[in-house]
Amino acid sequence: MKIGFSFGRCIRDIVNGDVSIDDVAFLITATNIKDLDHLDNVISVYMTEPGYLLGLDHDSCKEVAHLLWSSNRVLQPRAQGMHRHAQPENSVWVDMFPTQLSENQSVKTAWDNYRFMLHMTENIDSEALETFR
């Protein structure tokens, strides 16, 4: 599962097939979209922007945007008067957990160790953890 940090660039990656919409948990965007009409206007503007949706099929971009919107996967901190935490320019996606496990044995071992530690710490009483800190 993935979290996205750019409305336009995430739609781009989904339309291009680089990310499956089924792998998207939600997007945290800098947008402040009010309704579907406003959403359509944002898509139209992004269609003219290099690095966003320029050169992509308008209907496909609009379909992806509508699906994300209607499934409540577009979180907009600005709509609640908050500022989104700034992400590095090239930070579009982050994996909540690996969606494709590597064939590299070191990566597999690290992932197995992480899952083991996660399992162990989730089964410890939180008050007991505080005594170790």
> What is residue 48's predicted lDDT score, i.e. its pLDDT?
97
Residues 71 and 10 in one domain: yes
The tally of domains found in the chain comes to 2
Phi/psi at 94 (nearest 5 deg)? -135, 140
Q: Which domain holds residue 114?
A: 101-133
Q: Burial code of 53-65, b = ≥16 C-beta within 10 A, e = fewer? A: beebeeeebbbbb
> What is residue 53's predicted lDDT score, i.e. its pLDDT?
98
Residues 85 and 109 in one domain: no
Residues 113 and 75 in one domain: no
Is 0.75 topped by the overall pTM? no
Strand duo 93-95 + 2-4: pairing:
antiparallel
Residues 85 and 123 in one domain: no
Residues 80 and 127 in one domain: no
Distance CA 117, CA 119 (A): 5
Residues 43 and 17 in one domain: yes
Residues 65 and 115 in one domain: no
Residues 107 and 92 in one domain: no
Q: End-to-end distance of the chain based on CA atoms, in angstroms?
A: 31
Low-confidence ranges of the chain (pLDDT < 70): 84-89, 98-101, 115, 118-133
